[in-house]
A and B are shown apart, each in its own frame.
Chain A
Amino acid sequence: MSAVFEQIFQVGFLAAIIRIATPLAFATLGEMFSERAGVLNLGIEGIMLLCAMTGFTATSLSGSLWLGVLVAVLTGMLMGALHALFTVALGLSQHVCGIGVTLFSSGLAYFLYRLIFGQQSVPPAIKGFQTLPIPVLSDIPVLGPAVFNQFALVYVAIIAIPVAAFVLYRTPWGLSVRMVGENPRAADSAGVSVIATRFQAVILGGALMGLAGAFLSMAQFNAFTFGVVSGRGWVAIALVVFGRWDPWRSAGAALLFAFVDALQLRMQASGLGHIPYEAFLMLPFIFTIVAMAVMSRNAVAPSALLKPFRREER
């Protein structure tokens, strides 16, 4: 038994956890900003897919990885703006719009990909991000090779977590975001533009979803396939709730899910097939649903989530 454990818990295992957690951390932070401002973005699943596609395509055509990342981020911001246009400016129901954005963006991703690359027996690939060891730090035993010998986008994610927390809790803009998510009426009276702040938060969220999509098609898989996102957007929706709308906890939740996912992959690979791997994949969803029931007593969700704001309606 201990041999099996040794086989599972190696440096490579830790590195895999970090790699799996990275796109989830981006997506979860993105969804969190949007929800803290009071806007549920169920478009996340489709937005990630579309960004994975546009980023991959830009890199494939230009040869530049960072141009691909930029295009993915811009795509995410554009789709965020679209969702905000419907839900914030027009005040339409957020969940239905989100499903609409997901259907629209994933359809568009498939359509454009097929149009640009045609139907090929072997899907085109790119030379994706290579690991970038950080001098000195990567020499730390165990932790070094696992955390500091990663793709550049992993470091971006690691930095994004404290930055997100700082922005949300320590800047005037972060305060505005929390105000419009908790009590838009009061924010409006205090001179905060509810519409503008929500737009900005949803667009920032879209940018982070873009990074998540870019990581999947340009670092993790180095190709765009139709299953490249396969439910990771829905996982992020769960992780935001599980992480109680807090950047640190959300990132922690992403790490926890990545641990379970990596464990599941290892167990599959090492032939420990007693427990179906799907049981592990189900866990974050079940945990979140249970957590929602437990947490509901001390409501931690942004109070104005799902509620459109119209100034003239009192």
Chain B
Amino acid sequence: MFRLEVRTSTPAWLNLALPLLAVAATLVLCSGLIALAGAGVVESYGVMFTASLGDSYAITETLVRAAPMIFTGLAVAVAFRAKFWNIGAEGQLLAGAVASCLVGAIPMPGALAMLLMAIVGAAAGGAVALVPATLRVKFKVDDVVSSLLLNSVIYYALMALIEGPWKDSFSGYPISPPIEDSANFPVLIEGTRLHLGVIVALIAAPLIWFLIARTTLGFRIRVTGENPEAARYGGIPVERVLISTALMSGALAGLAGVGEVGGVHFQVMSDISPGYGYSGIVVAMLARLNPLGVVPAAIFLAAVMTGAEAMSRATGVPAFLSDVIQGTALLAMLVALLFTAYRIRRVGAAS
């Protein structure tokens, strides 16, 4: 017989090994679907890799796709560190996108527009996240359900806007009018879509890491998450910490929306986010809630997404494989995390 035994400490190498193990297990499990589709497993994964990370243009495309997931991944990581269960990154992203698009449509100098778009988008995301946090702190309302349900509220609000007063009168489609050309984020490498927002995302990760690991607020967030009773006993204003965490988490998710408006779509439409908010949960879990780990985790998911389209064209395996990989990776990672808390011990038959 085997049984689970509680670990007293987690060896450091596990932190790196577990996500890799989870990803490997995911790719092995999903190779069954590739075989089911009648394609070669090695060939399919090969195409996926080359098309997403094989040359410099492919890498820029993957980074563009990774940027929103770096932000939502950071949003979820920060929130989960404080055990503020923010499932609402999707809605916060949409709020950020709408707010920044409204600002970006106002004529003003480009640099100012971009700065204001970021500020307003972050504020909008933070405001949305404030709702479940306030409800939890003031009324003890479960934040999982309230933050999840807010996603639908924000989505329908966005739809009401782009099908109603905000509909682009020029095209007649349910999309918002575009932002000013001067507000389009500058492209960093000629001939690619690599925009300023991607660099901001890459810089945000170490900044958030520093904030969590090295500052007083970060310490308070961690203690609140690990042991709220001890935090309160130690004089930490747990409620205020939760509110600050929510604001920061929502702002980060809002910035994901800002990047999509300023750097990729230049307007808002109903499918501006193909579930980046939920992908953020996958990213944060793969990163073990470490802001530095969010970057490779987001790049992995982005590579799967960009690679899947090329794989589909080359081998005929449906590109939806990338969605299955996302879900499987999250579940595999959760199982792998058991090894940090427990270890498997053989128990003698006599016991």
Contacts and interface: CB of A to CB of B under 8 A. Distances in A.
Q: How large is the interface on B (under 10, 10 to 19, 20 to 34, 35 or more residues)?
A: 35 or more
A111 B335 contact: no
A292 B326 CA distance: 31
Given A95-B85, A103-B327, A107-B320, A289 B334 contact: no
B43 interface: no
A237 B149 contact: yes
B278 A237 contact: no
Interface in A235-269: 235, 237-238, 241
Contacts of A40: 144-145
B135 interface: yes
Q: How large is the interface on A (under 10, 10 to 19, 20 to 34, 35 or more residues)?
A: 35 or more
Given A100-B327, A101-B327, A111-B323, A90 B152 contact: no
A114 B144 contact: no
B324 A104 contact: yes
A221 interface: no
A55 B335 CA distance: 30
Given A234-B152, A276-B164, A107 B145 contact: no
B272 interface: no
Contacts of B326: 103-104, 107
Contact of A285 (B150, B334, B337): B150
A289 B146 contact: yes
Interface of chain A: mostly helix, strand, loop or mixed: helix
A102 B327 CA distance: 7
A243 B151 CA distance: 20
Given A107-B327, A237-B148, A289-B150, A296 B139 contact: yes
B323 A115 contact: no
Contacts of B142: 292, 301, 305-306
Nearest to B282: A103
Given A96-B330, A97-B331, A103-B327, A306 B144 contact: yes
Given A102-B327, A237-B149, A289-B135, 6 more contacts: A42-B148, A86-B331, A92-B335, A110-B318, A234-B149, A289-B150
Interface of B: 33, 36-37, 85, 87, 131, 135, 138-142, 144-146, 148-153, 155-157, 159-160, 163-164, 275, 278, 281-282, 285, 318, 320-328, 330-331, 334-335, 337-338
